[in-house]
Amino acid sequence: MWVGKIIGTLVATPKDDSLTGSKLLIVQPTRFGNAAPERPIVAVDTIGAGTGETVLVVDGSSARHVTGNPNSAVDAAIVGIIDSIEINKALLEE
């Protein structure tokens, strides 16, 4: 699992049938400490998240199982909206 912020939405009219009815959101992975920035990811929204929210994301086979179809064309799925995060900065790796 990883943490990210929803920075936008994606609409794709023609798409794989396993994605029909799925809301697709663009998620920017959150950087902690001096970690290098990662590229945004497209994720299926399974919980009703929206732009600007901080979310919990799963990827790989876990994402496919969350959608209820282990054969779906899904590589990332939003599984939680984060209310707050508390980080002990002294424990972050530099």
Average pLDDT per run of 10 along the chain, which is 94 residues long?
96 89 95 83 96 96 89 94 92 74
By residue count, the chain amounts to 94
Whether residue 61 lies inside any domain: the answer is yes
Rounded to an integer, what distance in angstroms lies between the CA atom of residue 35 and that of residue 94? 8
Parallel, antiparallel or unpaired: strands 76-81 and 41-45: parallel
Q: What is the pLDDT of residue 62?
A: 92
Whether residue 52 lies inside any domain: the answer is yes
Q: What is the pLDDT of residue 69?
A: 85
Whether residue 55 lies inside any domain: the answer is yes
How many distinct structural domains can be found in the chain? 1
CATH of residue 67's domain is 2.40.50.220
Q: H/E element holding 45?
A: strand 41-45
Q: H/E element holding 72?
A: none
Q: What is the pLDDT of residue 58?
A: 96
Whether residue 91 lies inside any domain: the answer is no
Q: What is the pLDDT of residue 71?
A: 87
Q: What is the pLDDT of residue 3?
A: 96
Burial class from Cβ neighbours inside 10 Å (0-12, 13-18, 19+) for residue 76 reads: buried
Q: What is the pLDDT of residue 11?
A: 94
Whether residue 42 lies inside any domain: the answer is yes
Q: What is the pLDDT of residue 94?
A: 60
Domain holding 53, by residue range, is 2-11+19-31+38-84
